[in-house]
């Protein structure tokens, strides 16, 4: 108890009452103790001088915080990925094997108390699925036989179980992801070109590979031309037609201009690294292998928009990225790229890392900001948009990890592209009318060559699947994460162009560029029920159509699958989906109709 009190005091001190302090303290308790003891709730509340209800309300929103005292037992914690790519690669059979061989079920201990089973929606290791975490260590491409080997291997010793020990993830200074050269395939490689080829934690390597040239250009221009210089860069971004890579595809230049024009002493920059979409892992790969490019983009954004403070909001599952990002921030502070006097210019900007607590909906920008403000990750009503009133009601420039990296490519004075023209012109030469440049398409599931293909928008599904060497038995794809539509791999759909406009014309989304391939061995009824569980689990609950609709749809589908009142129930499902599409507060509820309608429609064919 005394030890726990001291831990909380230390964590509170380190959090400095700053942004994301509840995440910091609760993640720290989780790491040390393995769960959040009930009495820690009052201690945390006292230390931050907020109510117990606020602390409890917050922690009960997130998957990673358990107050169950049973979590204090010594046991081996097994976490299985329940999401699309792992399922396409055989996680259903693996899960059955785990449950029967160890006599386990989700949220339960084995009868001998030695094992505990939990699940996650995607570890971001989809190119090597199925992925399973045991005692905080992630294992890739796990077959039932490989799982038995893992269990044999870990039977002794038992230490610090039930929580992830960050020490397990400490990597040497010159760490380069061993898999990255396998994962990042050839393509245009505008922003992925350095991945695997430089030490991610060497500013010298980064500079030698063209890094910080855009930042130096921006600093020089702002020093000589002031606001005129800032407007120049905003116009370049607008001219490039860069669209945000987080999913919604909003024009980046307009967002930066809006924040720039807002009159406020305090403004913020946020890098959205929550990457919750199953089948998506480009943010993780970039942050682990070329973090300085993302941070360069954030500094540039801060200097142009007039913000001094930036945050990287990282999803809790990315332990290696956490270590790399923390180290990269230290490095940039020491080498003068962050701080009160960036490269001696007198200009100021700093970055801090916030690690989430396990929630898909916190990838939505307003839910994300709520959670940084120590509140449950519930979506905010819009307007006002975050660029006008975001974090703490201040103008906030929020972009996805990839968007910052593409902005750096576009604003760089270098001509490091195959045509040796300006990077801006080169970017414009790629892609389609309304989707300019390239996108790291992340392919996984029933393919022999999974990975990231950074290719111009407009590449067809057929071309991409050829590159990824899809199984001959491949039958369907889901494009754009758990809210994306499924398409059959036949006829016109194979010629579907991967661009924002083509996807939307076909009733789908491109999302963050994740593409999961299913072959004919996949159990699509299981898939449907699994995705409905995901919608129920992850709905923030703020608006009724989504909160109630998700549960009701699952109930009705279960009846349909049992062949009860099929026609009538399908009609009600359709009505609910239509209401959710039009009445939900955010893209989560309004997007549910895409997978739920397309999956049953196509998989029968
Ligand atoms: C349910 C939901 C989840 C989202 N998850 C993410 C995410 O994990 N990462 C991300 O960058 N954007 C995510 N978004 C989109 C963000 O709200 C926001 O539009 C985006 O981060 C803006 O950055 P961009 O303009 O660079 O794309 C999500 C949106 C919704 C509705
Ligand atoms: S649609 Fe769902 S996730 Fe979005 S605000 Fe409503 S309840 Fe929350
Ligand atoms: S790791 Fe399982 S779907 Fe991504």
Tokens standing for 573? Answer: 């499902």
Model confidence at 181, pLDDT cuts 50, 70, 90, reads confident
Q: How far is the CA of 593 from the centre of ligand 2 (A)?
A: 14
Nearest-CA neighbor of 306 among 383, 227, 197? 227
Say yes or no to pLDDT of 164 above 60.
no
Closest ligand 3 atom to residue 281 Cα is: 4
Say yes or no to pLDDT of 171 above 50.
no
Nearest-CA neighbor of 455 among 421, 491, 414, 499? 499
Higher pLDDT, 73 or 575: 575
Residue 123 Cβ < 6 Å to ligand 3 = yes
In CATH terms, are 73-169 and 203-429 the same topology? no
Say yes or no to pLDDT of 167 above 70.
no
Model confidence at 155, pLDDT cuts 50, 70, 90, reads low
Order of strands across the sheet that contains 76-81 = 115-120, 76-81, 132-134, 137-139
Measured in degrees and rounded to the nearest 5, phi and psi for residue 352 equal -125, 155
pLDDT at 166: 36
Compute the distance between CA of residue 552 and CA of residue 532 in angstroms, rounded to an integer.
10
Domain residue spans in the chain? 2-70, 73-169, 203-429, 438-519, 524-603
Measured in degrees and rounded to the nearest 5, phi and psi for residue 262 equal -65, 135
* Smallest CA separation from ligand 1 atom 10, residue: 246
Q: How far is the CA of 130 from the centre of ligand 3 (A)?
A: 7
Compute the distance between CA of residue 158 and CA of residue 76 in angstroms, rounded to an integer.
7
Domain covering 73-169 assigned CATH 3.40.30.10 in the classification = yes
- CB contact at 8 A, 591 and 509: yes
Compute the distance between CA of residue 190 and CA of residue 437 in angstroms, rounded to an integer.
9
Say yes or no to pLDDT of 56 above 80.
yes
Nearest-CA neighbor of 298 among 398, 435, 198? 398
- Fold annotation for 203-429: Rossmann fold (3.40.50)
Q: Ligand 3: which of 85, 276, 317 to mutate, most ligand atoms within 8 Å of CB?
A: 85
Compute the distance between CA of residue 508 and CA of residue 593 in angstroms, rounded to an integer.
10
- CB contact at 8 A, 83 and 122: yes
Residue 86 Cβ < 6 Å to ligand 3 = yes
Compute the distance between CA of residue 135 and CA of residue 168 in angstroms, rounded to an integer.
10
pLDDT at 165: 39
pLDDT at 73: 61
**Per-residue H/E/C for 398-439:** EEEHHHHHHHHHHHCCCCCCCCCCCHHHHHHHCECCCCECEE
User: pLDDT for 270-314, tens place per residue?
Assistant: 999 999 999 999 999 999 999 999 999 999 999 999 999 999 999
CATH no., domain 438-519: 3.10.20.600
pLDDT at 69: 57
CATH no., domain 524-603: 1.20.1440.230
Q: Ligand 2: which of 547, 588, 594 to mutate, most ligand atoms within 8 Å of CB?
A: 588
- CB contact at 8 A, 273 and 283: yes
Residue 126 Cβ < 6 Å to ligand 3 = yes
As to burial, measured by CB atoms within 10 angstroms (0-12 exposed, 13-18 middle, 19+ buried), residue 422 is: middle
Q: Ligand 2: which of 585, 590, 591, 592 to mutate, most ligand atoms within 8 Å of CB?
A: 585
Residue 581 Cβ < 6 Å to ligand 2 = no
- Which range (105-119, 351-365, 496-510, 538-552) has the least confidence? 105-119
Average pLDDT in the chain:
92
Residue 359 Cβ < 6 Å to ligand 2 = no
Residues 203-213: what's their mean pLDDT? 97
Pairing of strands 451-456, 438-445: antiparallel
User: pLDDT for 343-384, tens place per residue?
Assistant: 999 999 999 999 999 999 999 999 999 999 999 999 999 999
Which of 60-69, 144-153, 415-424 has the highest mean predicted lDDT (pLDDT)?
A: 415-424
Q: How far is the CA of 83 from the centre of ligand 1 (A)?
A: 19
Model confidence at 432, pLDDT cuts 50, 70, 90, reads very high
Judged by its nearest atom, the ligand closest to the C-alpha of residue 545 is 2
DSSP of 272-319: EE----TT--HHHHHHHH-HHHHHHHHHHHHHHHT--EEEEEE-TT-H
Judged by its nearest atom, the ligand closest to the C-alpha of residue 237 is 1
Residues 314-318: what's their mean pLDDT? 94
pLDDT at 188: 77
pLDDT at 135: 84
- Look up tokens 């609910």; give the residue: 576
Q: What angle separates helix 401-411 from helix 291-305, to the nearest 10 degrees?
A: 80
Residues 50-66: what's their mean pLDDT? 95
Residue 376 Cβ < 6 Å to ligand 2 = no
Q: How far is the CA of 586 from the centre of ligand 2 (A)?
A: 5
DSSP lists the bridge partners of residue 339 as 349
Domain covering 2-70 assigned CATH 1.10.10 in the classification = yes
Q: Is the peptide bond before 383 cis (omega within 30 degrees of 0)?
A: yes
Judged by its nearest atom, the ligand closest to the C-alpha of residue 377 is 2
pLDDT at 178: 47
Closest ligand 3 atom to residue 280 Cα is: 4
Residues 170-190: what's their mean pLDDT? 63
- CB contact at 8 A, 91 and 82: yes
pLDDT at 34: 81
Residue 542 Cβ < 6 Å to ligand 2 = yes
């Amino acid at each position: 108890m005394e030890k726990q009190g001291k831990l909380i005091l230390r964590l509170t001190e380190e959090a400095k009452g700053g942004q994301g302090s509840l995440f910091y303290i609760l993640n720290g308790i989780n790491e040390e103790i393995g769960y959040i003891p009930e009495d820690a709730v009052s201690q945390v509340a006292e230390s931050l001088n907020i109510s117990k209800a606020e602390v409890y309300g917050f922690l009960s929103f997130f998957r990673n915080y358990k107050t169950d005292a049973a979590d204090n037992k010594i046991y081996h914690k097994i976490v299985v990925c329940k999401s699309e790519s792992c399922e396409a690669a055989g996680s259903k059979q693996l899960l059955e094997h785990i449950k029967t061989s160890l006599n386990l079920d989700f949220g339960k201990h084995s009868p001998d108390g030695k094992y505990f089973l939990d699940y996650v929606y995607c570890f971001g290791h989809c190119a090597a699925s199925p992925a399973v975490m045991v005692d905080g260590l992630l294992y890739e491409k796990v077959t039932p036989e490989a799982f038995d080997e893992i269990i044999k291997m870990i039977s002794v010793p038992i230490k610090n179980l039930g929580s992830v020990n960050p020490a397990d993830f400490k990597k040497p200074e010159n760490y380069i992801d061993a898999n990255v050269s396998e994962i990042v395939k050839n393509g245009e490689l505008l922003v992925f070109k350095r991945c695997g080829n430089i030490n991610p934690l060497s500013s010298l390597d980064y500079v030698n590979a063209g890094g910080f040239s855009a930042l130096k250009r921006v600093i020089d221009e702002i020093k000589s031309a002031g606001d005129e210089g800032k407007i120049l860069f905003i116009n370049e971004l607008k001219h490039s037609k860069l669209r945000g890579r987080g999913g919604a595809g909003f024009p980046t230049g307009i967002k930066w201009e809006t924040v720039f024009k807002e009159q406020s002493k305090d403004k913020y920059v946020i890098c959205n690294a929550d990457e919750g979409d199953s089948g998506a892992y480009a943010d993780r790969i970039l942050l682990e292998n070329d973090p300085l490019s993302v941070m360069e983009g954030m500094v540039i954004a801060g200097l142009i928009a007039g913000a001094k403070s930036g945050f990287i909001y990282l999803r809790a599952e990315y332990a290696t990225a956490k270590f790399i990002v923390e180290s990269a921030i230290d490095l940039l502070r020491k080498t003068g790229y962050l701080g009160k006097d960036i490269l001696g210019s007198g200009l100021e900007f700093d970055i801090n890392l916030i690690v989430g607590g396990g929630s898909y909906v916190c990838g939505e920008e307003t839910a994300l900001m709520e959670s940084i403000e120590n509140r449950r990750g519930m979506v905010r009503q819009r307007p006002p948009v975050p660029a006008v009133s975001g974090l703490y009601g201040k103008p906030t420039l929020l972009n996805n990890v990839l968007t910052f990296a593409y902005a750096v490519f576009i604003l760089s004075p270098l001509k490091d592209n195959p045509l040796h023209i300006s990077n801006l012109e080169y970017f414009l030469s790629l892609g389609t009318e309304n989707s300019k440049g390239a996108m790291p398409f992340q392919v996984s599931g029933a393919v022999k060559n999974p990975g990231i293909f950074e290719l111009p928008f407009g590449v067809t599904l057929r071309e991409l699947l050829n590159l990824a060497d899809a199984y001959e038995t491949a039958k369907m794809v889901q494009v754009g994460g758990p809210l994306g539509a499924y398409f059959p791999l036949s006829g016109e759909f194979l010629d579907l162009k991967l661009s924002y406009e083509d996807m939307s014309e076909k009733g789908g989304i491109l999302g963050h560029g994740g593409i999961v391939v299913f072959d004919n061995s996949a159990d699509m009824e299981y898939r449907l029920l699994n995705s409905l569980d995901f919608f129920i689990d992850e709905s923030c609950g703020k608006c009724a159509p989504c909160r109630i609709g998700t549960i009701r749809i699952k109930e009705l589908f279960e009846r349909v699958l049992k062949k009860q009142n099929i026609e009538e129930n399908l009609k009600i499902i359709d009505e609910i989906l239509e209401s959710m599409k039009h009445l939900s507060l955010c893209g989560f509820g309004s997007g549910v109709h895409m997978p739920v309608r397309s999956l049953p429609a196509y998989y029968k064919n």
